[in-house]
Amino acid sequence: MMVRPAAFRYNSETQGTNAFQSAAALPAGDINAMAAAEFDAAVDKLRAAGVSVLVFNDTPEPAKPDAVFPNNWVSFQRDGSVILYPMQAKSRRAERRPEIIEALGREFRIDDVVDLTGYEKSDRFLEGTGSIVFDHVGRIAYACTSVRTDQYLLSAVSERLGYRPVIFHATDKTGQAIYHTNVMMCVAERFAVVCLESISNERERWMVMNFLTGGRREIIDISLDQMYNFAGNMLALRSADGRNLLVLSQRAFESLKPDQVKAVENYCEMLPIEISTIETVGGGSARCMMAEIFLSKK
């Protein structure tokens, strides 16, 4: 599921916790139009590769500058549940639109809606599959703690879904907590892309590595510089004809070294999309734009 932006812009409310936004590098021109054009091209490329994409249009009012990143407010689980997540920025909470859930409910079986949004009143947040990187094979929920990722809520969601939480600390170049786990790691079926450099605690770093390799995955380690180019913000998908794909931004793809590209291509086809405006202004990338639907069709 993806949401076409209608009021995309720089969100000053989120800049304090998102080091990947850049007000200094804002492009000139109609930013929403540029983002919408990138979005449309990305959807076309995904569909051409055989990925089924459901697109919902954002509504202009109320203005939702980050609506293009729906994975932060909702996830659609295999057990038939839909989870609504508490988000830190008040400007983002209007992204949760019941009509989207209702529309999906006409096509997919929804057995339960788990609404965690009440935790916003006590300043406890868990921003969907931005905060949580799920290993659906090993049933592990990876998360680096931050203001946007509450350990208690992570444990509660993990218990609800029957996943094991793996909690650690990850920081950027300045020592600030990385705001979302999916910026520094991507877990696919047979490999994982992860910025081990961001996990300064040696015990926690080895813990993450051991859980990943315990699932018989190859670890493809990326640097902090590559992480800043969104090389950790990828999503593994499967096309309608069964091909394994890895969706990432063009910027992320170009930051990878030849041996890293070769390592990924041992397992899947890489599908880079050009979303430079969305990345620069929004501080999120390809993975953030997609909310996977694991629900069963009716």
Per-residue confidence of the chain (298 residues) as pLDDT tens digits? 999 999 999 998 898 888 788 776 677 779 999 999 999 999 999 999 999 999 999 999 999 999 999 999 999 999 999 999 999 999 999 999 999 999 999 999 999 999 999 999 999 999 999 999 999 999 999 999 999 999 999 999 999 999 999 999 999 999 999 999 999 999 999 999 999 999 999 999 999 999 999 878 999 999 999 999 999 999 999 999 999 999 999 999 999 999 999 999 999 999 999 999 999 999 999 999 999 999 999 9
Q: Answer whether 191's CB lies under 8 Å from 264's CB.
A: yes
Nearest to 185 by CA among 220, 215, 237, 156: 220
Distance from C-alpha of 142 to C-alpha of 146, rounded to nearest angstrom: 13
Fold of 2-289: L-arginine/glycine Amidinotransferase; Chain A (3.75.10)
**Predicted pLDDT of residue 22:** 74
Look at residue 198 and give its three-state secondary structure.
helix
Distance from C-alpha of 174 to C-alpha of 247, rounded to nearest angstrom: 28
In b/e form, how buried is each residue of 256-277, taking b as 16+ CB within 10 angstroms?
beeebeebbeebbeebbbbbbb
pTM attached to this predicted model? 0.96
Query: CB atoms < 10 A from the CB of 26, how many?
Result: 14
Strand order from edge to edge, sheet including 191-194: 185-187, 191-194, 218-221
